[in-house]
A = this chain, B = another copy of it.
Amino acid sequence: QMPRGNLETVHHRALVLSQIRKWLDILSFKEAFECMRKLRINLNLIYDHNPEVFLDNVDLFIKQIDSVNFINLFLTELKEEDVTKTMYCSTSVNNTQSLQCHTKKVNVVCDAVRSSMEKLSPQKFFLAILTSYVRKTPPELETALQKVHELREKSSSAATVSADEALKYLLFLVDVNELYNHSLGTYDFDLVIMVAEKSQKDPKEYLPFLNKLKQMETNYQRYTIDKYLKRYKKALKNLCKCGPDYFSEFLNFVKDQNLYIEALELNPCGSDAYRAINAAYGDHLISTHHYEQAGLIFARCGCFEKALDAFVACGNWHQVMCMASQMEYSQDRVVALARNVAGKLVGQRKQADAALLLEQYAEDYEEAILLLLEGAYWEEALRLIHKYKRLDILETNFKPALLDAHNNNMIFLDNQKTTFTRHQQRLFLVRELKEKAQRNMLEDYVVEYAEADLFSETSSVVSASDISGKYSQSNSRVSSRSSKNRRKAERKKHSLKEGSPLEDLALLEALGENIRMVDKIQSDVHSLLKALVLFGYDGQARKLQKLYEDLLQLIEKSIPEIWSTNIPQITTLGPHSTANSISISYQQQKNVDTTVQDSELFVAPKLSKLGSWKLNLLEQH
């Protein structure tokens, strides 16, 4: 079908194509078709050359071709691809049409051609009409079979083809079992037997089955057929029509095929069936550990007990209390339930929720307040203290908790500051070292230089020989290790270990993490400062504000220094590279490739708008 590598042929085909295009442009489909058929030009071109013109002139096309075989040939050769793009691209054709969507092209052409043939002469084009059904995606085999069946029933004198011949033609186009299944799918036993007879299937095999089916009630029969054909959703619908007597079979079928959603759609919202399906669905969701959704399903079908358990399991305390109310729990049970759920919430560090439960359902105000203090919800704690006139707690618990929180925040910020500074200094050192290594200095010189200056003066914890070792030979260790532990390494990203090949990335990552952790506590610090001031702990508040502000300023000042450089280049190959160093740099390159997601590492983190957390009353001028 392709030209045989002969330039002349190629040229010849170009001329042919040009001629065909001219014919198609003047709607000489006949000439174009003949020529294409003879020279084995792909027939899709008839449509692809200009889809709109073709669709507007389908009648003319059918009239000109006027041959069932040729139309069948055309339909059979149809495919979704646009041959003007793939096979017969021509420079003169502009290519902006590529923007158009060509999916469903075959279906469009089949439908257009069929509708034209039905109009002109359904009898004459009978086989071509069948082809147009079969060629669709998905094939409309039932309709095609129906056509054949009609033909047999009516046996009109105008028919150019017998039902038998038509069926044979269909079996030529489609696999026999597929056609048999589809005939069964029409629920039309005449059709089934017609196909079965032509199929050379064993009547001993299919007749008993068909007879059994025939004795069934219509809906149950259809359900059985659908089930046999694995059309479970259709089967479900038919089974549903069989009525309440079949409900237990229906419910089992729903469970077996996991068709709860479809089953619910088939039953009205308030019905018993609807409730029963929901209950079964809830059990299913529990068994697949979807507790919250199970709770919702149980709740809507009135299984409040089960719903409550499900909501307890997923920690949805709002719904837990709703369920308890629905079941009209006694006060004692409500208290016990609230305490139980609150305990779980505390375990998840959701003290505010737990406190609400204890306050509003267990009426244990003191415990509620203590939980709020544990979670550093100062204002809410104060509100409850005043609401329930428990001002004694201010001295016994509130103030100690406040000072504790102050202390913890000071320690946290101090640690963050230390880590941040250490990582930053180390990053600058590593960058300097990498840059030097990149300048392809002689290795000896690097070692000497490092010993002379960098490591004698700075407080680096590793000795110079240690470092130079890490930057020269030890990478071989890395490459051997990388294959083994790659997946592990990817999980925990880069190693902060001194001298590790992507230590700079690890440091960048650690610094970003530092910054995010410090930035994140802005609102906590703000509310702590307010509480400290309210109780006159101005000194402590001032210290905290100062420490936090200094740290934020340090970070703000450092961000452009840390993230100023562009994405650091991995050492490339230079005149001094050895086979070993090349393999190392290749390894590193690969590491870098696998971590393209790291690109966010190279974007400076942003601090939230500075200052909103601050109390200006703590600022001394």
Contact = CB atoms under 8 A, between A and B. Distances in A.
Contacts of A297: 533, 617
A190 interface: no
Contacts of A318: 379-380, 382-383
B386 A285 contact: no
B386 A325 contact: yes
A456 B95 CA distance: 12
Interface stretch (A169-177, A261-269, A506-514): A261-269
Contacts of A260: 617
B389 A325 contact: yes
Interface string A502-545: 00000000000000000000000000001001111011000000
Contacts of A293: 530, 533, 615-617
Interface string A54-70: 00000000000000000
Interface string A79-108: 000000000000000111101000000000
A281 B617 contact: yes
B300 A533 contact: yes
A257 B135 CA distance: 93
A229 interface: no
A620 interface: yes
A53 interface: no
Interface in A309-357: 316, 318-319, 321-322, 325-326
Interface in A433-489: 452-454, 456-458
A20 interface: no
A578 interface: no
Contact of A96 (B319, B382, B453): B453
A609 interface: no
A600 interface: yes
A96 B299 contact: no
Contact of A99 (B97, B319, B458): B458
A376 interface: no
A299 B394 CA distance: 14
B387 A325 contact: yes
A453 B93 CA distance: 11
For the side of the interface on A, what is the size category?
35 or more
A96 B457 contact: yes
Given A318-B379, A322-B386, A616-B290, A300 B534 contact: yes
B325 A536 contact: no
Contacts of A380: 318
Contact of A261 (B285, B382, B458, B617): B617
A599 interface: yes
Contacts of A408: none
Contacts of A296: 530, 533-534
Interface centre among A99, A269, A325, A615 (most CB of B within 10 A): A325
B262 A322 contact: no
A576 interface: no
A582 interface: no
A326 B387 CA distance: 9
A226 interface: no
Contact of A300 (B316, B456, B536, B606): B536
A292 interface: yes
Interface centre among A299, A300, A454, A534 (most CB of B within 10 A): A534
B536 A617 contact: no
Contact of A379 (B300, B319, B379, B389): B319
Given A292-B530, A293-B615, 6 more contacts: A261-B617, A281-B617, A293-B533, A300-B534, A318-B382, A600-B606
Closest 4 pairs between A and B when the two form their complex, measured CB to CB: A325-B386, A96-B457, A318-B379, A322-B386
13 contacts: A94-B453, A96-B458, A261-B620, A264-B538, A265-B538, A281-B617, A285-B617, A290-B616, A290-B617, A300-B533, A318-B379, A322-B386, A325-B386
